[in-house]
Amino acid sequence: MDEFYAFFGGAFMLRAALAGAAAAALAGPLGCFALWRRMAYLGDATAHAALLGVALGLIFSLPIWIGAFFVAFAVATGAGLLAISGRLAPDAALGALSHAALAIALVAVSLAGFGAPDLEAYLFTGDPLAASPSEIGAYAAAAFVGLTLIVWFWRRLLNSTLSPELAAAEGDRPRLAQIALMIALAIYVALAMRLVGLLLATALLILPAAAARPLSSRPEMMAAIASMLGVAGTALGLAASAHFDTPTGPSMVTALFVFFALIVGLDALRRRL
Amino acid sequence: MALSLATASAAPDLAASAPLIVAHNVSAKGDHGETILRGVNLTIARGEIVTIVGPNGGGKTTLTRCLIGARPISAGRVERAHGLRVGYAPQKLAVDRVMPLDVDGFLALGARSTRRQREQALDRVGALRLARRQLADLSGGETQRALLARALLRAPNLLALDEPTRGLDQQGVAEFYRMLAEIRSAEAELSVLLVSHDLTVVMAASDRVLCVNGHICCAGAPEDVETHPEYRKLIGAEDADALAVYQHHHDHTHQAVGRR
């Protein structure tokens, strides 16, 4: 056990590794849906909007993750409703809502007397090394809830992704599954905020799923491989950040990008031959 | 044969003479509140083959989806028989290459089933060899077969097929109707609701034809509809696409025609 600790550079490193594993496990299947449903931008925009949640948390002394979760969920579903109403195209609705939330967050924090540095860790780098043991427990529980939601609605989500009209004809009610997916996304945003920062949240979502695609022939397989790549990539990034003394979150994303580039590059090469 | 057994077990729920679907004065609106259908009354009896023809944008797909409950209606009422099981094949299925999914997996998403049942369903549509193929790699005709197999796997008593021969060449169209006839002869209780552009072929295969353009312009046995003035008027106004297909059949009877 001591050697294990030593490898990770101590208990706080192990906790950071666990935090990375929890977020990456959820990011696997969620990232697959982000690719399949073309909602990478949704992930990006909700993550940016979640900064408003951080600001509200700071101002009202609430746990930051609660603010981030609810604002992410509200923006994701709100943009969906705005798009359904036909008033704006989905990407425009999302862009309008999420970046308004981001701007309001910066204004509110400044009005409340906080400085921009208070937000920076949440926006740019995350801070997984500061996670306390109880925080890790909450982290794992949240990831478990998100994963359970996705597994529970798996068939319905896949069917509504493939063909909403076919799903409706077969008696599926896609609304509930959609809400479940948005809840899972909001949970993920709150986790990723602590791990890699809101700016990089989408990278951790998309890269493992995209890297898993050439290795998979079934959707379940792609989700599982994405989770495994994510867990391995975050651990590797963490070890590298300790070794090279680089920021943790960005190191994790860089490690995931290396996986992605290797797999996709080799796959392209294989197709050539 | 597992599939027909499953159909038989669903059948006792239905009163022998009761129609499968009855639509009373059904209207439907589009996303922006525009009227697509108004005042549609119709009945689909058990074992009946009903075909919907009409111009593009006339509401054929909307009517089909209202009837099977896949779409809300804005006025009227649709009664569906207790125990109605719909197997639906939409007009098209756009599968992105980014989703890895083979045909067997696609069928498994449609109904809880064993691999053997899925193979049987594929075999019935002559597509057994497609089981391990990726959905995104299929041609138009192969996709239609996969959709039909998924619909059959649900052991339906109503098969709703929306332009199942869209994009097929002449031979493919003929093959498709031969296949449909075989499926039907194995299960005489099976009703079929068909949306189609293949006017001449469809007319021969149907018990009843509905001509739809915002409402039901005319309806009846194929030979009656063919001579109905409303139908003749509509065919005159038929879009160029359908006319092209129609004339195509006359021009190229001996040549293989490429898929669109």
State pLDDT tens for residues B139-167: 888 898 999 999 999 999 999 999 888 87
Q: A211 is written with which tokens?
A: 């890297």
Q: How many CB atoms lie within 10 A of CB B178?
A: 11
Q: B5 is written with which tokens?
A: 């057994």
State the ipTM, two decimals. 0.83
Q: What is the pLDDT of residue A155?
A: 94
Q: What is the pLDDT of residue B220?
A: 78
Identify the domain boundary among B129, B154, B179: B154
- Are residues B217 and B238 both part of a single domain? yes
Q: What proportion of chain A, given as a percentage, has pLDDT over 70?
A: 95
Domains in chain B: how many in total? 2
- Are residues B161 and B150 both part of a single domain? no
Indicate whether A8 pLDDT > 60. Answer: no
Kindly state whether residue B5 falls inside one of the protein's structural domains. Answer: no
Counted residue by residue, chain A has a size of 273
- Are residues B247 and B165 both part of a single domain? yes
- Are residues B160 and B150 both part of a single domain? no
Choose among B180, B231, B229: nearest CA to B206. Answer: B180
Indicate whether A133 pLDDT > 90. Answer: no
- Are residues B100 and B71 both part of a single domain? no
**C-beta atoms of B100 and A163 within 8 A:** no
Q: What is the pLDDT of residue B246?
A: 37
> Which residues of chain B, if any, have pLDDT below 70?
1-17, 198-204, 226-227, 231-260
Task: Kindly give the interhelix angle for A248-272 and A219-244, rounded to the nearest 10 degrees.
Answer: 130
Q: Give the mean pLDDT of A122-148.
A: 86
Q: What proportion of chain A, given as a percentage, has pLDDT over 90?
A: 45
Indicate whether A105 pLDDT > 70. Answer: yes
Q: Which amino acid is at B110?
A: G
Kindly state whether residue B160 falls inside one of the protein's structural domains. Answer: yes
Domain of B113? 93-154
Alpha-helical runs (H) found in A85-200? 90-111, 117-120, 133-152, 154-162, 164-169, 174-195
Q: Which amino acid is at A158?
A: L
Provide, as residue numbers in chain A, all residues whose Cβ is less than 8 Å from the Cβ of B160.
Answer: 169
Looking up residue B63, the CATH number of its domain turns out to be 3.40.50.300
- Are residues B106 and B77 both part of a single domain? no
Interface test with A, best of B60, B86, B99 (most A CBs within 10 A): B99
Identify the domain boundary among B154, B184, B204: B154
- Are residues B56 and B167 both part of a single domain? yes
- Are residues B165 and B202 both part of a single domain? yes
Q: What is the pLDDT of residue B245?
A: 37
Report how far residue B71's alpha carbon sits from residue B60's, in angstroms, rounded to the nearest whole number.
13
Kindly state whether residue B8 falls inside one of the protein's structural domains. Answer: no
A201-244 per-position pLDDT tens digit: 999 999 999 999 999 999 999 999 999 999 999 999 999 998 99
Provide, as residue numbers in chain A, all residues whose Cβ is less than 8 Å from the Cβ of B68.
Answer: 169
Q: In the block, which residue shows the tokens 């996670």?
A: A131
Choose among B151, B200, B174, B161: nearest CA to B50. Answer: B161
- Are residues B60 and B106 both part of a single domain? no
Closest-CA residue of chain A to B65: A169
Kindly state whether residue B2 falls inside one of the protein's structural domains. Answer: no
Kindly state whether residue B6 falls inside one of the protein's structural domains. Answer: no
Average confidence score pLDDT of chain B? 79
Identify the domain boundary among B117, B132, B154: B154
- Are residues B26 and B72 both part of a single domain? yes
**DSSP codes of every residue in A214-225:** GG-SSHHHHHHH
Closest-CA residue of chain B to A211: B98
Q: What is the pLDDT of residue B239?
A: 42
Nearest CB among A161, A163, A218 relative to B105 is that of: A218
Element (H, E) at B219: strand B216-220
A10-51 per-position pLDDT tens digit: 778 888 889 999 999 999 999 999 999 888 888 888 888 898
pTM: 0.83
